[in-house]
Structure 1
Amino acid sequence: MGPLPRTLELFYDVLSPYSWLAFEVLCRYKNIWNVSLQLRPTLIAGIMKDSGNQPPALLPRKALYVKNDVRLLGQYLQVPIHLPKDFFFVIFEKGSLTAMRFLTIVKLEHPELLEKVSRELWMRVWSRDEDITEPQSILAAAEKAGMSTGRARELLERVSTPQVKNQLKETTDAACKYGRPGASYRTPLAALCL
């Protein structure tokens, strides 16, 4: 019998391409690396606000770097990642609040589906340039991940409850206590070292 797995928490937001890359690497190798992966849906906007960090897309040199970095990392890691056509609208206008609240309630009530639903939301926004804010979009992602339509609707109706809001805030606050300037701020392999 080998050593017990080490626990690794991944604080993530589906609005972050670096979070997706870290997520895929960690999910892919968690058994090989003997890691107990704890997925922690978090609101990147809350982390940015707490840290005083600006999104890289607002800084021209960082924006260009991130665009190329994400493309190259996606190729290298074999993650089908592509920037949305209307990047600023998707990131800054639409955001991810409802999607992250939905993932929060999925974690609370169906943790066995959290990985699949998270991946489907990332696929929608970062691979297929589809919406993740409208109820039908979130339902489509949940259904594709294997959740029944009825159950997905029940969960979606509860995303604005105090329980879900408070849990997402608590998780975001926990990420902030680690001193994070963003969600999976560095490349996936570097995220393991933080």
Structure 2
Amino acid sequence: MHRIVFHFDVLSPFAWLAFQRLPQVLEGLSHEVEYRPLLLAGLLQHFGQKGPAEVEPKRAWTFRHVHWMAAQQGVPLVTPAQHPFNPLALQRLALACGPNRRVVEALFRHVWAEGGDANDPARLAALTEALAPARDPNSAEVKAELRTNTEAAAAAGIFGVPTFEHEGRLFWGLDALPMLRDALAGGAWFEGPAWQAEGAPRPGVRRA
């Protein structure tokens, strides 16, 4: 059985589209998926990056692109009232519930299928009531777990979401799903030296 870890932050529309496409990618394969929440902002800070929505031309392109892909994929996508927003409450709620596919889908739909303010107190309260978390999302335990997830992901080389982890390999982004499928199916490329060779550091110009 293949074990895949889906590292996600509900802030990302690409993670929502990847979540929706994943069952199709895994069809016919024996597998289990662990859904692991983290904070994209923590990864960006660790690697000194800006998020796509923090660069205005990139933000405009990102939303045009994801809406086109959602239409192609037949997935509902409504831009939330505020983006970027702080996803901390939602990521903690995911952990507090025990993030299975049902829980994670409810969280993504809250952000990307309803079009409201993801952090509206009334909406958050209704979502929390519907999901009935086993733990207090605001407990020290849950807060520490989310921080640990984020720090461990950064240490492992995860720099963005969605990232899929399988047998020590990391596959980043919606467009990496065909590559993940090939790896799971025993694709010949993964039997050769290219994975290690092409991931090795190389000399190159560095910006000051």
TM-score (norm 2): 0.71
Q: Is the 8 A contact 2:81 2:117 kept in 1?
A: no
Distance 1:78 1:37 in 2: 23
Distance 2:93 2:3 in 1: 24
Counterpart of 2:143?
A: 165
What residue ranges of structure 1 are gaps of 5+ in the alignment?
none
Counterpart of 1:82?
A: 78
Counterpart of 1:48?
A: 44
Distance 1:119 1:139 in 2: 17
Distance 2:41 2:82 in 1: 19
Are 2:116 and 1:130 equivalent residues in the alignment?
yes
Distance 1:178 1:71 in 2: 31
Distance 1:192 1:168 in 2: 29
State the shift of 1:187 in Å: 4.2
RMSD across aligned positions (CA): 2.4
Equivalent of 2:95, from 99, 104, 109?
104
Counterpart of 2:19?
A: 23
Q: Is the 8 A contact 1:51 1:179 kept in 2?
A: no
Q: Is the 8 A contact 2:92 2:137 kept in 1?
A: yes
Percent identical among aligned pairs is 26
Q: Is the 8 A contact 1:8 1:37 kept in 2?
A: yes
Q: Is the 8 A contact 2:96 2:142 kept in 1?
A: yes
Q: Is the 8 A contact 1:84 1:125 kept in 2?
A: yes
What residue ranges of structure 2 are gaps of 5+ in the alignment?
164-171, 181-208
Write 1 or 2 for the structure with the bigger share of helix.
1
State the shift of 1:40 in Å: 0.4
> What count of residue pairs does the alignment treat as equivalent?
172
Task: Report which of the two structures shows the higher radius of gyration computed on alpha carbons.
Answer: 2
State the shift of 1:21 in Å: 1.2
Q: Is the 8 A contact 2:25 2:177 kept in 1?
A: no
Cα distance change of structure 1 residues 173 and 166 upon mapping to structure 2, 3 Å threshold: same
Distance 2:141 2:121 in 1: 19
State the shift of 1:128 in Å: 1.2
State the shift of 1:115 in Å: 1.7
Distance 2:142 2:48 in 1: 25
